Amino acid sequence: MATLTGVGYRTMPFLSSPARYALSPRFQGLQKTAALFSTNAKTSYYKTVGGLKYDRSALEAAAKAGKGDGCVSLADAEKLFAEMVDGPGVTKIEFRTAFKILADYTFTDEARDSFIASLAKAK
């Protein structure tokens, strides 16, 4: 940010009050402090795709599970179900996410059967 040498920000009558504040040392210090606390953390628990909400962590876990050989194994399916069902019951968004994962990723036959059976047992 450019500064004017020898001219204080308070002595600039042609600047609006917000502009003078933006030039003040206090504001610049606040910006630096805010930058320290800002992170690139996930902004939401959900991921919206095509106007529908899905469980972000389950979609990310499915992407990791299907990366290796391109097929979700039985062990991966069990981990994926445990990641998706993180509360006392299964919500409609978790069900929607499960069906999206089943549609988008290739499962082995036993993994698909186990995943569907786990969904059927969930309340």
Residue 60 has pLDDT above 60, yes or no: yes
What is the spatial distance between Cα 102 and Cα 120, in angstroms, rounded to a whole number? 14
Residue among 115, 17, 103, 106 at smallest CA distance from 67: 106
Q: What is the pLDDT of residue 25?
A: 66
Q: What is the pLDDT of residue 10?
A: 56
Per-position DSSP letters for 41-91, written without gaps between them: --S-SEEEETTEEEEHHHHHHHHHHTTSSSSB-HHHHHHHHHHH--SSS--
Task: Tell me the whole-structure pTM to 2 decimals.
Answer: 0.62
Task: Return mean pLDDT, the chain.
Answer: 79
pLDDT 10s digits, 64-102: 987 878 899 999 999 999 888 887 778 899 999 999 999
Q: What is the pLDDT of residue 112?
A: 96
